[in-house]
């Protein structure tokens, strides 16, 4: 009898550019997950632990990251289109070269990426492209 793969193992084993659609990863532990430039559509990462995950070059469309913990994750070159990142923890995340944008749904307010309330202290925002993102630019970090 074989043990079923965990979500982390399954994502790590998918081939480059594989599509992951409609999956529910809500509140799962995906810390330190390493992926191969996967294509996520309409997936839920609500409250998911993605600390130190390597999501470089991944593409996310209409994904929900509300309250997700992405501290220390690498999203270099990732695309987040029409995603919800409200109250996500992006401290010390590497977003170098990432693109945050809306999706043209033809209906106003259904396609923008929303970063309202997300935490960005220590985040690398080099060469980030942000187009029609709710809550952009992120609030300035405070030094205490």
Mean pLDDT of all residues in 84-93? 97
The pTM for the full model equals 0.91
Q: How many CA atoms lie within 13 A of 143 on its CB side?
A: 0
pLDDT at res. 144:
46
Long-range contacts for 59-66 (Cβ within 8 Å, ≥24 apart)?
Answer: 61/103, 62/103
Percent of the chain with pLDDT over 90: 80
Q: What is the pLDDT of residue 1?
A: 63
User: What's the whole-number mean pLDDT along residues 14-24?
Assistant: 96
């Amino acid at each position: 009898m074989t043990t079923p793969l965990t979500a982390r193992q399954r994502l790590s084993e998918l081939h480059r550019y594989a599509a992951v659609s409609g999956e529910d990863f809500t509140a799962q532990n995906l810390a330190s997950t390493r992926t191969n430039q996967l294509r996520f559509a309409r997936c839920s990462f609500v409250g998911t632990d993605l600390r130190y995950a390597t999501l470089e070059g991944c593409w996310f469309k209409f994904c929900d990251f509300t309250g997700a913990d992405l501290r220390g994750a690498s999203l270099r070159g990732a695309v987040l289109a029409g995603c919800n990142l409200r109250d996500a923890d992006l401290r010390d995340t590497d977003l170098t070269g990432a693109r945050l944008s809306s999706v043209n749904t033809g209906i106003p307010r259904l396609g923008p990426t929303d970063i309202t309330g997300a935490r960005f202290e220590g985040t690398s925002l080099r060469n980030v492209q942000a187009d029609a993102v709710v809550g952009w630019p992120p609030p300035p970090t405070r030094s205490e």
